[in-house]
Amino acid sequence: MLQRLKPAARAARNFIYQIAYRGTGRWCPLCDTETRRFRPFGVDERREQAMCVHCGALERHRLIWLFFERQTDLFTLPPKRMLHIAPEPCEERIRRRVGAGYVSADLADPTVDVRCDVARIPYPDGWFDAVYCSHVLEHVADDRQAMRELRRVLAPHGYAVLLVPITAAETFEDPTITAPRDRLRAFGQEDHVRRYGPDFVDRVRESGFDVRVVRARDIATPPEISTMGLDATGEIFLATKRPLL
């Protein structure tokens, strides 16, 4: 009974938020909906103007949608093959826009198309035109192997879109820290295994990629950044294949 009540309770709560936040001034590109403001949200620290009350999209989801629309050919013909690692519910619209070539993958989520470890992807070399992996690698013990695997399944002309939280001056990891409480203290979340710093770019390059860093100001105008609540977004790491030495 309790399990059946949870979705109903969430729906009721979301409806109340939608009424309370009704108005104009903010716009979410994922659900194409206006609202008076976005909800506060945060794990490490509470962020204002973070979550869309209609679809649940956070700043990074709104930013990546704009990126795909404005700086890639993902949503245009001919159809693309896309691998999406650990998709979140608000990103279902990406599936609808990509079409039959869209594949979702996750190790634990039973609703995805393919259950797999990101470090062992069951597809041939060069299969996908695009790979999207957002806020996943900080959970993966061997993130370098995972990035090499993402590169392996990427077509020569393709690109990988990687997002990670940058929360340290330099990447810090310690495999001896395994208890959830200790990981929370060290890495900011119980299921994180490291904190990334700006040197994340170097780890991506070491995996055989060329990398370009894309920020909100590269995609949207200052008024758009304000309207869509993109002020607190991190970087998009756009990775393309280069020959491995």
Cβ atoms of 146 and 118 closer than 8 Å: yes
Residue 1 has pLDDT above 60, yes or no: no
**Average pLDDT of the residues of the chain:** 93
Spatial distance between the Cα atoms of 72 and 80, rounded to a whole number of angstroms = 11
Contact by Cβ (8 Å): 47, 232? yes
Pairing of β 47-51 and β 82-85: unpaired
Distance CA 124, CA 122 (A): 7
Whole-angstrom distance, CA of residue 113 vs CA of residue 67: 24
Is the per-residue pLDDT at 163 higher than 70? yes
Domains and CATH numbers, the chain: 58-241 (3.40.50.150)
Name the pairing type of β-strands 47-51 and 39-41: antiparallel
What does the pLDDT read at residue 77? 95
Euclidean distance between CA atoms 6 and 150, whole angstroms? 36
* Confidence label for 5 from pLDDT (cuts 50, 70 and 90): very low
Neighbours of 13 (CB within 10 A): 11
> pTM to 2 decimals?
0.91
Concatenating the DSSP letter of every residue in 41-76 gives: E-SSS-EEEEE-TTT---HHHHHHHHHHHHH--TTS
So what's the pLDDT on residue 8?
60
Residue 194: the pLDDT is 98
- Alpha-carbon torsion, ordered 62, 68, 71, 74, to 10 deg: -170
Answer yes or no: are the C-beta atoms of 87 and 97 closer than 8 Å: no
pLDDT in tens, 149-158: 999 999 999 9
Q: What is the pLDDT of residue 54?
A: 92
* Residue of higher predicted confidence among 244 and 213: 213
What is residue 42's predicted lDDT score, i.e. its pLDDT?
84
| Cβ atoms of 104 and 95 closer than 8 Å | yes
Q: For residues 104 and 115, give the distance between their C-alpha atoms in angstroms, rounded to a whole number.
A: 9
Side chain identity, residue 131: V
- Predicted local confidence at residue 192, as pLDDT: 98
Q: What is the structure's pLDDT at 186?
A: 97
